[in-house]
Amino acid sequence: MSHFKEFKIKWGMVIDIDKCTGCGACMVGCQVENNIAPMTKSDPYNYVQALTKPRDDASNKLRTLTWMNVYELSNGKSFPEHETAYLPRPCMQCGNPACVPVCPVVATDKNEEGGIVSQIYPRCIGCRYCMAACPYHARYFNWWDPLWPEGMDKGLSPSTSVRPRGVVEKCNFCHSRYLEAKDKARLDGEDPMNLPEGAYTTACADICPTKAITFGDLNNPEHKVHELIQSPNAFRLLEKLGLHPQVYYMSEREWVRKQGDNYNAEAGGHH
């Protein structure tokens, strides 16, 4: 059964792996934009700290909270044939998301125009079915209360409310920026359903110093992404699963394209 729903506007990303240096600026930018707390070891509100285990800090990669994550790829060859590449991974905002049908409380959905998969935090009961379902590991459970060391909560971004411990979080293509862009278009007497290139962009695309990330409406021929996804070098991750991700990747390197498709490019997975 397919849940595939077409949208007039389909926000998407094209990430050029041949330009990404894996610097991590997008990850930091994403955390700042979306008020993801830096992970701290101690919790001043836990009065029985001495009796409980310390919180995990960001050195524990199993419990980090990073809506955007950069993976390191290797062609698997030994010196000197070795090659390496970096793959930034936001939520793919799948056209046919695996995470949506499994949610027992409808805390996640793909309904709004734009094709962004939403996550309604106050509804989320933290059952983590969606995490298990998402093949891209794009969802994160927040194990710890979001704490900013003394004084650091002064600098919270106004975009996204802070989520409490115990819910599943994910990238939403900086949805608040979409709302702002639409509002601005209305105020300026322009059509909010036909935003020009650049009127709405995500924090990671904005910050990327090599402009490896291009953001736009995949359906809009006036947006760069529309053209980029036609490239023979464009591919989507695990395409064979049929989730129809709205995030595309590009690489001139064949081994990268193959890995992106889980080594299955020849097996007919690549559309």
Partner 1 sequence: MSVARRTFIQLGAGATVGILFTPTVWKALDDVSIWTQNWPWIPKLKYGAVEAKPTVSKMCESGCAVKVRTVAGEAFGTMGNVDNPLSGGGICPLCANGVQVKNSPNRIKAPMLDGQEISWEKAQEVVAEKLAAAGSKVAVISGDQTGTVNEVFSALLNDKGSDAFYVMPCDMQAADKAWTGLMGGAGQVGYDLEGADLVLLAGADALESWGPTVANLKSFAANESGKFIFAGPMQTKTASVTSKWVPVPAEGMAAFTLGLAYYVLQAGKTVGAADFDLFRSMVMSEYSPAKVEAATGVKADQMAALAKQLLTASNPVVVPAGPVAAHGAAFALNLLLGGAMKALPEFAKAIPSAMSRSEMLRADILDGVNTDLLFVYEANPAYALPEKIKAGFTVAFDMVQTETTATANLVLPSLHPYERFDDLASPYGLAAATYSLGVPVSKPSVNAANAATFILGLADLGFETFEEVLGAKVDAIGADMDALQGGEAFVVEGETPVAASLAANVLGKAAVPVKGTGAVGLVPYTLLSVGTANRATTPNAPCTISNNQLVGDHMVVMMGSATAKQLGVSVGSMVKLSGGKGECEALVQIFEGVMPGVVAAPLGLGHTVGDEFSKGKGDNVYKILTVSSEAAAGASTWAGSTVNVAKI
Residue ranges in 108-137 that form contacts with partner 1 under rule CB under 8 A = 121-125
Check binding of 114 to ligand SF4 (CB under 6 A).
Answer: no
- Chain positions 30 to 69 lying near ligand SF4, rule: CB under 6 A, are none
Return the one option of partner 1, ligand SF4, none that residue 161 interacts with (CB less than 5 to 8 A, by type): partner 1
- Chain positions 200 to 229 lying near ligand SF4, rule: CB under 6 A, are 208, 210, 212-213
Look up residue 39 and give its two tokens: 């992970």
Q: Classify residue 104 by burial, with Cβ atoms within 10 Å: 0-12, 13-18, 19+.
A: exposed
Check binding of 20 to ligand SF4 (CB under 6 A).
Answer: yes
Q: Which long-range contacts (CB under 8 A, 24 or more apart) does 121-126 make?
A: 121/161, 121/163, 121/164, 121/167, 121/169, 124/167, 124/168, 126/166, 126/167, 126/168
Say which residues have a Cβ less than 8 Å from residue 183's Cβ, sequence separation at least 6: 192
User: x/- site string to ligand SF4, residues 77 to 106, per CB under 6 A?
Assistant: ---------x-x--xxxx--xxx-------
Check binding of 209 to partner 1 (CB under 8 A).
Answer: yes
Nearest-angstrom CA–CA distance, 121 and 107: 7
Check binding of 134 to ligand SF4 (CB under 6 A).
Answer: yes
123-126-128 Cα angle (round to 5): 120
Return the one option of partner 1, ligand SF4, none that residue 47 interacts with (CB less than 5 to 8 A, by type): none
Specify the residue, 87 or 185, whose C-beta has the smaller distance to ligand SF4: 87
Residue with tokens 């793959």: 87
Nearest-angstrom CA–CA distance, 183 and 181: 5
- Cβ 128 to partner 1 shortest distance, Å: 14
- Chain positions 11 to 70 lying near partner 1, rule: CB under 8 A, are 18-25, 27-29, 31-33, 35-36, 38-42, 45, 57-61, 64-66, 70
Residue with tokens 């009127």: 199
205 sits in the region (left: phi over 0; alpha: psi -120 to 50; else beta) called alpha
Return the one option of partner 1, ligand SF4, none that residue 111 interacts with (CB less than 5 to 8 A, by type): none
Return the one option of ligand SF4, partner 1, none that residue 94 interacts with (CB less than 5 to 8 A, by type): ligand SF4
Closest CA to 260 of 174, 270, 268: 270
- Chain positions 178 to 207 lying near partner 1, rule: CB under 8 A, are 206-207
Return the one option of partner 1, ligand SF4, none that residue 6 interacts with (CB less than 5 to 8 A, by type): none
Nearest-angstrom CA–CA distance, 71 and 22: 8
Q: Which residues of the shown chain bind ligand SF4 in the complex (CB under 6 A)?
A: 20-26, 70, 86, 88, 91-94, 97-99, 117, 134, 136, 138-139, 170, 208, 210, 212-213, 243
